[in-house]
Amino acid sequence: MAVGLFDSGLGGLTVQQAVAARLPGVEFVYLGDNANAPYGVRPPEDILRLTRAGVERLWAEGCDLVVLACNTASAAALKTMQEAGLPEGKRVLGVFVPLIEALTERNWGDNSAPRQVSVQHVALFATPATVASRAFQRELAFRAIGVDVEAQPCGGLVDAIEQGDEILAETLVQAHVAALKRRMPKPEAAILGCTHYPLVEPAFRLALGPNVQVFSQAGLVAEALADYLDRHPEFGTNGPGATGGTTRFLTTGDPAEVSLRATQLLKQPIRFLAA
């Protein structure tokens, strides 16, 4: 049985790389909804509709467990999908919680009451839709008290990253960090709340300075998924005909164009097929 990874575009490939390295015996299917990217500027109802369609496509590929490797989808769609009820034997996970567990120094799955934590001033960089959802603040409130979060919507950054425009991406990072620092001059920690942003993490670190702890998601999500599969091994067991340790890449966009952009971004060959 394969594990599905869904993203609006190419940012989720940062998560794919991390989970494939952490779980070399598991088969993955990655689906990028490149035809409809970016999600970060879409209204919530559009994000929900597109995310649900992507998850159902991965279910059709035999992925009973799907990870939304996209913060915007996790923020705008996950809670609604879970509350509406999932088909029997299906699970959908998001990427927010592992990040917040790391920030609040909790072990995986710790559901104890919220408590005081060492970091009090947190900068959140995310897409406009993720910021508008306030999903990060909502999940954080379940686990910590007294944390001041200043959120910066990073308009245009996902587009620049997907287009491979490094100069524009770095310029936008500098502008967004400067805008946030005008409101929160001395953040203690920064959350890169989009799976695209690890691709420009050095630019964030440079703009933020050496005294800000930067939390990025890919490795944290990989550890959380490994823990989940330890507790639910039925979702990571390869069935007849499956090949452990491989990833199939699917896209709703043009496979040749998406393959080229993915290869350029990650600097290794990646071949997408039509979804």
Give alpha helix (H) positions in 209-254: 218-231
d(CA 116, CA 104): 9
What's phi and psi for 91, nearest 5 deg?
Answer: -135, 145
d(CA 23, CA 141): 31
d(CA 2, CA 67): 11
Note whether 192 and 220 are within 8 A (CB).
no
Catalytic residue, chosen from 66, 154, 172, 194, is 194
Identify residue 146 by its one-letter amino acid code: G
Catalytic residue, chosen from 70, 157, 207, 224, is 70
Tokens matching residue 112? 């104890």
d(CA 196, CA 39): 12
Q: Is 154 a catalytic residue?
A: no
**CA 86 to chain CA mean position, Å:** 21
d(CA 31, CA 250): 5
- The per-type count for the chain, helices as H runs and strands as E runs, is 12, 12
Show the CA angle centred on residue 132, arms to residues 130 and 138, nearest 5°. Answer: 75
d(CA 144, CA 53): 34
Catalytic residues: 70, 194
